[in-house]
Structure 1
Amino acid sequence: MPLDPRRPTGPEPTTELVVLAGLTPDGTEQIAQLMLAEPGTVVVHHDLRHLGDGRVFRRIRDATSDTATEVELAHGCLSCTLRDDLLPRVVELTGQARRVVVHLDPVLEPEQVCFALAHLLLGDEPAATTVTDVVDLLGVITVIDVATWFDDATGEETVAERGLVELFDDERTIAQLATAQVEFADLIVRCGTAPARELARTNAVLARLSPTAGQVRLADAALDPAVLSLAVVAPEARRGRPDGVHAPLLRGAPPLDSDCGVSLFAFSDRRPFHPQRLHDAVDLLLDGVVRSRGRVWLATRPAEVLWLESAGGGLRLGRAGHWLADAGEEAWEHATPERAAMASLGWDEHYGDRSQDITVLTYAADHAEMSAALHAALLTDDELAAGERAWAQLPDPFGSWQEHGTGDADGCRHERDDQAGAAGRARAEAGAREPTGAGVAGPAPPEAAR
């Protein structure tokens, strides 16, 4: 079996780590309590309810103690505060606890936190380590309320409108948060109930959005807490590992048929998008859509891989590296073997490895209309023939991310080099796309459309 480039060799960690997420505070708290019943478990939680007053409280509890400590908000930045306090705290618990549960505030996305656990360095190089160097990250448990989750995942309500903790410049919708938490889960714990038809539709969405995640009812987990150990998961389970930007867009084996009106749509093409026409077409990636995600390239910036994500009424488009086409030998040397192989297999004499690849999970959308609109947004034959100099002059309404795309959701700007260092950066480039959203690592591209 090939070694995972994201994980160093060495002695196996003795402390297990589980990330617990969800929009349902009562549900996640019940799971935390069930996990605390297992001897040797410690739950770490950062309470963000008083963030508006500049206060964050860290709570650490085990079977016999429960301690809350106010944590200084580092220069007003939540990401810095969590990174500087959460990551060292987990490392300190190594060897003392058999299992550490990082219980996230409802406003946080687990992919961001897992990226930080795996790639942000602690200490000084060359002895610096990441959290996952010293603990065994088992994966992510996400708790959902089946009575409300589908409406949350398809609505337009923002995080601020819901009354959750409002991070600086955070324009995410509840749908973006709900889908991100489920999409990254290794185990989905279901609480609440819903009418049979609504429940069937929710089940159809979950099967396609997170096909490798196991599912269990909260009542069943209460009867058998061992299911929360993540000892039995699908072979393709994420185990807390963010995908690379060039990884397959469909993880596992999601159903490809339609169920309760829920189905998957895939769009692929080699031509570049006309930026303005793509911008005009993005509403079709929002209406009747649960989730869209994929790689795109714009005629105005042929070197850049752009990552597109939408959920409910919110959409993001941000930079995600560079295509290997026209890149030097160094870019090929730094590419993972998987990426280099895929680029070579799909190489086009005109476009190299550049391509449009988007998957869309829909519940009430016309796939033919969506396909026609996206094809119409591609460059025409005449526009292609005009060449890259002419493409560079095309109107580009997506250009604003160059000014704002590297800022944290809570307003503090970081360069990835400063966060991860050379070793962490190498591991990240070897395996993981730096995720968008709100969490510990922090960069959140602005929304291109709402």
Structure 2
Amino acid sequence: MSVPVVIVSGLHPEPRSALVDRLLADHPGSVAIHHDLREVSTGRVQRVVRNASGTLDLHEVRLAHGCVTCTVREDLIPELLSLAGSASLLVVELWDSVEPRTVAEALAWHEDTVHRLRLTGVLTALDAARATDDICCDDTLAARGRHAAAGDARHLAEVLARQIEYATALVVSGAEEDVELALAVLGHLAPTTPAAPSDLAPPAVTGARIDVEMLGARVDPATAQLPCDARTGEISTVVWHRLRPLHPQRLFDAVDELVTETVRSRGRFWLANRHERLLAWDAVAGVITVEDAGPWLVTLPEAAWEMESPARRMAATLDWSAPLGDRVQHLVFIGPDLDRDRILSLLDSCLLTESEALAGSDVWAGYPDPFASVLDLEETSA
């Protein structure tokens, strides 16, 4: 019979470790594994194995290449398998800046773990006061000494956003007023994910295997379950949903205002001059990433649809409109005191005018493309 495994992530070590302690105390026979990655760039990692009584093993691991992927493949999975015969629950406590998706998929899809381990949850523990500050912070991980590998250029806020949005449950600790604000923010960032104060019972973690493919589909740009229009006190989520294509230069000129006036924004969109490609928008704390997420399904032969995931086909069906198919502008913007009318009017001004739209794709192809330096570089390096 397979042993349940739960992943606990979080930028803030104190609430994360406290949640792990709670899980160990509530589940007799459970064991937790944590890899300290402070020196991973040198190929050295410290592995700590503990139970409710204390530390069982402290071991320095040397890796051929210092990275999170190597740590998971070369040490975490073998260690979990070695403990599977005696533990009632295995808790994987991730290092501060490790994003849980990489680890979850490695555990779920590794050929040696399929029958012996079952991933039952991905929990993210948050310090209420620091989380609401960090989601607005433009510091890099390296600037805070929290990077997970040499050359790690990620920002603190983008890692925190991914830890929040990928989780199956969120646990928040801190003073009552801080927790109340954090829960309100989380209700906008991840409205379908259960979130609760840490003084309540932790989420159940010994049940059925979670579907990692569906978990990924919740956050992938082509299939993401994006938040709806909402307002909680001063916090707003503004949804922009349109069908007409965007003019590349006008959108590019509007990007700075859109990302600096909001805390978090994401979604999928299409540029007139790249009308066959689904583009992903991902911005947090003033830092934006625009990526090519593949073709719109309407551009593919019908036979190719069978090669796409059920989630991808469902998302395309929900967005479908003739004659555009699944092409859509669907962006969401989250932040305090947002000027909804300003955001919507600014984005609407970036759409093609009626006469530009009627000119057709041959004309659109000739538009100057300021996004080319990012998107074409992506294609070259792929």
TM-score for the superposition, normalised by structure 2: 0.85
The separation in 1 between residues aligned to 2:284 and 2:377, in whole angstroms, is 21
Structure 1 contact 21–140 (Cα < 8 Å) conserved: yes
* 2:125 alignment partner in structure 1: 143
Cα 1:347–1:189 change in 2 (3 A) is: closer
Q: 2: CA distance between counterparts of 1:77 and 1:351?
A: 43
Determine the C-alpha separation between the residues in 2 that align with 1:52 and 1:376.
46
Query: Aligned residue for 1:186?
Result: 168
Per-residue CA deviation, residues 1-26 of structure 1 (Å, 9 max, x unaligned), is xxxxxxxxxxxx52111110111112
Counterpart AA for 2:19: I
Mapped pair 1:241 → 2:215: yes
Task: Report what 2:187 is aligned to.
Answer: 207
Matched, 1:56 2:45: yes
Equivalent position amino acid for 2:143 in 1: E
The alpha-carbon distance between structure 1 residues 249 and 217, as it changes in their structure 2 partners (threshold 3 A), is closer
For 1:172, which of 129, 154, 159 is the aligned residue?
A: 154
With over 3 angstroms needed to count, the CA separation of the structure-2 counterparts of 1:237 and 1:189, relative to structure 1, is farther
1:229 correspondence with 2:229: no
- The Cα of 1:343 is off from its aligned counterpart by 3.2
Q: How does 1:60-209 map to 2 (within 5 A)?
A: 60-63=49-52, 66-119=56-109, 122=110, 129=111, 131=113, 134-165=116-147, 167-193=149-175, 196=177, 199-209=179-189
CA deviations over 1:9-51 (Å, ceiling 9, x no partner):
xxxx521111101111122122222323322212122211112
When the two chains are superposed, the root-mean-square deviation of aligned CA atoms in Å is 3.2
Report if the CA contact (8 A) 1:137-1:239 is conserved.
no
Distance 1:131 1:397, change over 3 A: farther
Shift of 1:187: 2.7
Distance (Å, rounded) in 2 between the aligned partners of 1:345 and 1:286 = 27
**Distance apart, 1:328 and its partner CA:** 1.5
The answer to whether the Cα contact below 8 Å between 1:14 and 1:98 also exists between their aligned partners in 2 is no
The answer on 1:333 being equivalent to 2:306 is: yes
Secondary structure of the residue that 2:297 maps to in structure 1?
A: coil
Say if 2:140 and 2:154, in contact at 8 Å, map to a contact too. Answer: yes
Residue deviations 1:73-110 (CA, integer Å, cap 9, x gap) = 33344433433432343344434322111111111112
Equivalent residue pairs, number: 377
Letter in 1 for 2:86: Q
Letter in 2 for 1:204: A
For residues 204 and 332 of structure 1, what CA distance do their matches in structure 2 show? 39
Q: TM-score with structure 1 length normalisation?
A: 0.74
CA contact (8 A) 2:12 2:126 kept: yes
Question: Residue by residue, what CA displacement relative to the aligned partner does 1:402-432 show, whole Å, maximum 9, x if unpaired?
Answer: 576599xxxxx9x8xxxxxxxxxxxxxxxxx
**Residues 285-325 of structure 1: CA distance to partner in whole angstroms, max 9, x if unpaired?**
32342321211122232222222111212222222222111
Correspondent of 1:280 among 240, 253, 262: 253
Q: Structure 1 stretches of 5 or more lacking a match?
A: 1-12, 123-128, 408-412, 416-450
Q: Name which structure has the greater RCO, CA cutoff 8 Å, separation 6+.
A: 1
Q: Give unpaired runs (5+ residues) of structure 2.
A: none
Match of 1:250 in 2: 226
Q: Deviations over 1:127-185 (max 9, x none)?
A: xx274554222212211111221111112222122221253443332221222222223
Structure 2 distance, partners of 1:111, 1:284, is: 30
Structure 2 counterpart SS, 1:229: coil
Return the letter of the residue paired with 2:34.
H
In the alignment, the residues of structure 2 paired with residue 133 and residue 334 of structure 1 have an alpha-carbon distance, to the nearest angstrom, of 26
Kindly report which structure 2 residues correspond to 1:16-31, keeping only aligned pairs within 5 A, or say none.
Answer: 16-31=4-19
Q: Is the 2:246–2:272 Cα contact (8 Å) retained in structure 1?
A: yes
